[in-house]
Amino acid sequence: MNQDWILSQQVGRVLTLTLNRPEARNALSTDCLALLVQHLEQADADDGVGCVVLTGSARFFAAGADLRELQQQNVAVTLTDRRPQVWRRFCAFSKPVIAAVNGYALGAGCELALASDIVICGENARFGLPEITLGLMPGAGGTQRLIRCVGKSLAYRMVLSGEVIDARQALVAGLVSEVCVDTLTLEKAQWLAAVIARQAPLALRAAKAALKQAQETTLENGLLAERQLFTVLAGTEDRREGIAAFFDKRSPEFKGR
Amino acid sequence: METPMILTHIESGVLTLTLNRPDRLNSFNDEMHNQLAEALKIAELDDKVRCLLITGAGRGFCAGQDLNDRNVSVDQETPDLGLSVERFYNPLIRRLNAMPKPIVCAVNGVAAGAGAALALACDITIASSSASFIQSFCRLGLVPDSGGSWFLPRLAGRARAMGMALLGDKVSARQALEWGLIWQVVEPEALVGYTRNLARHLATQPTYGLGLIKHAINSSATNTLDQQLDLERDLQRLGGRSADYREGVSAFVAKRQPVFCGK
């Protein structure tokens, strides 16, 4: 495994992880994905990290999985593939993740963006699930997460035809929250991450857990879970500090307690 | 070797592209499209090129699609003209639009069909007083392509766009100037010198900043005021970080001529 596949840089409480396999257009081989998850797990345990930004290069966020790897897998090997486990670990990351996408986010790259909490992209970004054109299909959330954010018609179209959509379509469809000038994508994501990273860590954790619930359960159970998480925060120091700072008209100082 | 259909020449930071099929009024065929696409690569990749100048050889500028070319043969199955638009014309217009360097067009003679659209897609279009613009598509049962139906109403207004597109009449260079389709008209013998000097001037200017301006103005066509204000803020942020901005300010303070590097 090449440690350079993921570049890591921390400024304040924002950790930026950059996919760095230019020779493979940032293809997400299992090893590369596992390395990314290692970084996230370290960040999860690190109180100094409040939010993570995930990005690629100017032309490629990530252009899919490693096809050579897939080529060698028959049914038996695929059944015992460790890759789904690696994805599960990605999704278990408890802090906010922002994907800053420039260029192509295809296949697994698109699924990585979909699995992130917020996506910001450049004007020339492209999103697509071209698996179908290779005789396979999305295998890491593509058919599930896409339809939940862009709706039935566009999701079916993208999955069944393999056609890519541009940044504007992605914005209109709700796949991304903001489109900006390419050269500012990373900066904007980091700026947003800094805003998020200033918030109370426990509240962020609970809010992210509540938002994830929304995809998993019925509205009634979701509301119940939300209320429980809300109640848990009532006992935190940071909640008292947050409200007190609001009345004192000053910035709160959160301690994660 | 056969005569190239696109002549390229780089001098003083200006890449001059000359459409070179004078016997066919520089009309496009597939090969000419391929050569033009190659030539545009130079403009996109070479930092030394800081301005593009497009013109035509001989008496015409560009008569659009060469109707003799196989794309539009009528003796066989119905041709898929959409394919030719998709493969050649649309990418060409998109590339000109996205090119972060100024593009000057010297319209030396008739600009018809896609040739007229090509001239309108450039950033600063100068026409010889003997030049003319024709939206000839309507005479063949076709639609203005290569952005023609987009540029015309934006530049000249709906009434004039409709008139030009539905009637297909020849519009003189002077008329085109009056309607706001182009930037200047000059006498035929002055066209080459005038446009060359203009292009050379642009090639000494803050190229990166000019690219941002293009971006802003081209985006304004589809943005709301709110979106455009946000975009201006973002582009200004980028412009403020350029070496040319520093140079411009320090030259202004020192009361000297700035020397821009284009970055």
ipTM for the assembly: 0.79
- pLDDT at position B243 is 96
Which residue(s) pair with B106 in the sheet?
B55, B126
Kindly tell me if the per-residue pLDDT of B235 is higher than 60. yes
Domain boundaries B6-203, CATH class: alpha beta
Which chain B positions have a beta carbon within 8 Å of A183's beta carbon? 238
pLDDT digits (tens, 9 = 90+) for A39-95: 999 999 999 999 999 999 999 999 988 888 888 888 988 888 899 999 999 999 999
Which chain B positions have a beta carbon within 8 Å of A180's beta carbon? 234
pLDDT digits (tens, 9 = 90+) for A220-257: 999 999 999 999 999 999 999 999 999 999 999 999 99
- In this complex, do B238 and A183 lie within 8 Å of one another by their Cβ atoms? yes
- pLDDT at position A194 is 97
Chain A CB within 8 Å of residue B174 CB: no
Average pLDDT for chain B: 94
Q: CA of A171, closest CA in chain B: separation in Å?
A: 13
Size of interface A-B (CB pairs under 8 A): 10
Chain A CB within 8 Å of residue B241 CB: no
B90, exposed or middle or buried, with CB in 10 Å at 0-12, 13-18, 19+? middle
Kindly tell me if the per-residue pLDDT of B187 is higher than 70. yes
- In this complex, do A184 and B231 lie within 8 Å of one another by their Cβ atoms? no
Provide the token pair at A128. Answer: 């697509």
**H-helix or E-strand spanning residue B14:** strand B14-19
- pLDDT at position B77 is 76
Nearest chain B residue (CA) to A185: B234
Interface test with A, best of B234, B236, B263 (most A CBs within 10 A): B234
- In this complex, do A183 and B235 lie within 8 Å of one another by their Cβ atoms? no
Which residues on chain A place their C-beta less than 8 Å from a C-beta of chain B? 180-181, 183-184
Domains of chain B by residue range:
6-203, 207-254
- pLDDT at position B51 is 98
Instruction: Using a pLDDT cut of 70, give the percent of chain B over it.
Output: 97
pLDDT digits (tens, 9 = 90+) for A136-188: 999 999 999 999 999 999 999 999 999 999 999 999 999 999 999 999 999 99
Kindly tell me if the per-residue pLDDT of B72 is higher than 60. no
Provide the token pair at B160. Answer: 């004039």
* Residue bearing tokens 């049914």: A75
Q: How would CATH label the architecture of B207-254?
A: Orthogonal Bundle (1.10)
- Look at residues A86, A77, A124, A78 and name the one whose alpha carbon lies nearest to residue A108: A86
Instruction: Using a pLDDT cut of 90, give the percent of chain B over it.
Output: 93
Sign of CA dihedral B219, B224, B228, B231: negative
Which chain A positions have a beta carbon within 8 Å of B234's beta carbon? 180-181, 184
Cα gap B230→B239, rounded to integer Å: 14
- pLDDT at position A14 is 98
pLDDT digits (tens, 9 = 90+) for B22-40: 999 999 999 999 999 999 9
Which chain B positions have a beta carbon within 8 Å of A181's beta carbon? 215, 231, 234-235, 238
Whether residue A56 contacts residue A18, with contact meaning beta carbons closer than 8 Å, is answered with: yes
**pLDDT-derived band at B58, boundaries 50, 70, 90:** very high
- pLDDT at position A223 is 96
- In B109-257, beta strands by DSSP E: 110-112, 124-128, 132-134, 170-172, 184-186
Q: CA of A158, closest CA in chain B: separation in Å?
A: 21
Mean pLDDT, residues B177-200 taken together? 97
- DSSP assigned state of B2: P
Q: Are strands A118-122 and A178-180 parallel, antiparallel or unpaired?
A: parallel
pLDDT digits (tens, 9 = 90+) for B107-135: 999 999 999 999 999 999 999 999 999 99
- Look at residues A13, A96, A113 and name the one whose alpha carbon lies nearest to residue A60: A113
To the nearest 10 degrees (0 to 180), the angle between helices B114-121 and B148-156 is 60
- Look at residues B98, B119, B92 and name the one whose alpha carbon lies nearest to residue B191: B119
Chain A CB within 8 Å of residue B231 CB: yes
Whether residue A146 contacts residue A105, with contact meaning beta carbons closer than 8 Å, is answered with: no
**pLDDT-derived band at B1, boundaries 50, 70, 90:** low
Mean pLDDT, residues B71-97 taken together? 85
| Model pTM score | 0.87
- pLDDT at position A61 is 97
Nearest chain B residue (CA) to A181: B234
Q: CA of A114, closest CA in chain B: separation in Å?
A: 25
- Look at residues B161, B69, B58, B70 and name the one whose alpha carbon lies nearest to residue B116: B161
Cα gap B126→A140, rounded to integer Å: 54
Residue B29, phi-psi category: left (phi > 0), alpha (psi -120 to 50), beta (remainder) = beta
Cα gap A105→A102, rounded to integer Å: 8
Mean pLDDT, residues B171-198 taken together? 97
Q: CA of B5, closest CA in chain A: separation in Å?
A: 31
Q: SS3 letters for B94-111?
A: HHHHHCCCCEEEEECCEE
Kindly tell me if the per-residue pLDDT of B71 is higher than 80. no
B76, exposed or middle or buried, with CB in 10 Å at 0-12, 13-18, 19+? exposed
Chain A CB within 8 Å of residue B213 CB: no
